[in-house]
Amino acid sequence: MSKKILILPGDGIGQEIVAEAVKVLDYLRQSEGLALELENGLIGGSAYEQHGDPLPQQTLELAVKADAVLLGAVGGPEWEGLERPLRPEQGLLRIRAGLGLFANLRPAMLFPQLVQASTLKPEVVSGLDLMIVRELTGGIYFGEPRGIRVNDNGLKQGFNTLVYDETEIRRIARVAFEIALKRGRRVCSVDKANVLESTELWRQVVTEVARDFPQVQLSHMYVDNAAMQLIREPKQFDVLVTSNMFGDILSDAAAMLTGSIGMLPSASLDAGGKGMYEPIHGSAPDIAGQGIANPLATILSVAMMLRYSLELPQAAQRIESAVEQVLDEGLRTADIYSAGPGMQQVGTREMGEAVVRALAAQ
């Protein structure tokens, strides 16, 4: 049976980069016979322009029916003045909530060809390949009570609640262990169990889940140490699993180890393996419409989709090899270009087409 993929280009460079990722999917469909059915929908500012809503009901319905969603990016200065519920970013938050996407997967891998793009020394980052699994729908960003109140001393007081129940911890831990089985079979759980009771429970539950995965080695690390180790010796990690806020911060730090925002994909998964796949970057209004955005993060998001939602790991691997191939050929979009022998600066379309050519040549 064919698998349904909903394509949501969104705003800004989203349109340009997703068009290249669709070329890769079309190639796999037409030349290799992968049974994939593509549908298109609107989200973000472009959905607001047509329907007055950044997540129209029909988009959510299509997403619910799809096996996976590929998203470009949303947002732009033209919508910044709108009331909060109408802003493009709300479309993104609502589709994540509507699909129950509780597990955010953020790989940080450094292609050897781009080692100079990192601000860290080549020996620290070359060969880097780690995965951060971040809990996305719970923790302090959603906990109640929350707000700003006046306390008994008449002072204004801001407060939030860090709360996780064992079910929420168990399901994100399971995702991390299952991913580790497909990678290096090591999970490091990041918490602050020495100070926060909620993360003491986190550590207990992750340890219980580990018993179901005897092939995977579990370690624990306090978040402050994890932040330090990510910069000091990032290659020690395979899979890191952590709560919403810690994951938010650590995954941005990990992304910067690679030095190129245009190269990094991400996934957000539900309990059944359905996922939404997107580059980690935004809609880059400063370069939108110029044909110079890097489409590789979106193309690598397609590879993640094939691996984690569509059970097509070989096709995923082929896309990743094709990306390596075009980098080996010296092709670079402006964001990853540095002058040198054999280097050639290309636009968004040329980069996408080069990946398709590399796939065809395998």
Which residues are marked as active site?
141, 192, 224, 248, 252
Phi, psi (rounded to 5 degrees) for 215: -80, -10
Smaller CB distance to ligand NAD: residue 138 or 352?
A: 352
Question: Rounded to an integer, what is the distance from CA 233 to the centroid of its chain?
Answer: 22
Q: How far is the CB of 354 from ligand NAD (least distance, A)?
A: 15
The answer to whether the bond into 145 is cis (omega within 30° of 0) is: yes
- Structure token digits, residue 191: 């918490």
Euclidean distance between CA atoms 202 and 298, whole angstroms? 32
Smaller CB distance to ligand NAD: residue 103 or 261?
A: 261
Euclidean distance between CA atoms 342 and 348, whole angstroms? 19
Euclidean distance between CA atoms 175 and 212, whole angstroms? 12
Q: Which residues pair with 265 in a beta bridge?
A: 279
In the β-sheet with 239-242, what is the strand arrangement from edge to edge? Answer: 36-40, 3-10, 68-73, 275-279, 265-269, 103-109, 129-135, 239-242, 186-191, 217-222
Q: How far is the CB of 345 from ligand NAD (least distance, A)?
A: 12
Are the beta carbons of 148 and 181 closer than 8 angstroms?
no
Output the CA angle 279-280-286, nearest 5 degrees: 90
Smaller CB distance to ligand NAD: residue 10 or 36?
A: 10
For ligand NAD, the binding residues (CB under 6 A) are 13, 17, 73-76, 89, 92, 261-262, 278, 281-287, 293-294, 297, 335
Are the beta carbons of 172 and 102 closer than 8 angstroms?
yes
Smaller CB distance to ligand NAD: residue 198 or 298?
A: 298
Q: How far is the CB of 14 from ligand NAD (least distance, A)?
A: 7
Smaller CB distance to ligand NAD: residue 105 or 293?
A: 293
Smaller CB distance to ligand NAD: residue 173 or 322?
A: 322
Question: How many other C-beta atoms are found inside a 10 Å radius of the C-beta of residue 338?
Answer: 10
Q: How far is the CB of 329 from ligand NAD (least distance, A)?
A: 19
Q: How far is the CB of 11 from ligand NAD (least distance, A)?
A: 8
Output the CA angle 217-219-309, nearest 5 degrees: 60
Q: How far is the CB of 72 from ligand NAD (least distance, A)?
A: 7
Euclidean distance between CA atoms 164 and 134, whole angstroms? 13
Strands 147-150 and 36-40 come out as unpaired
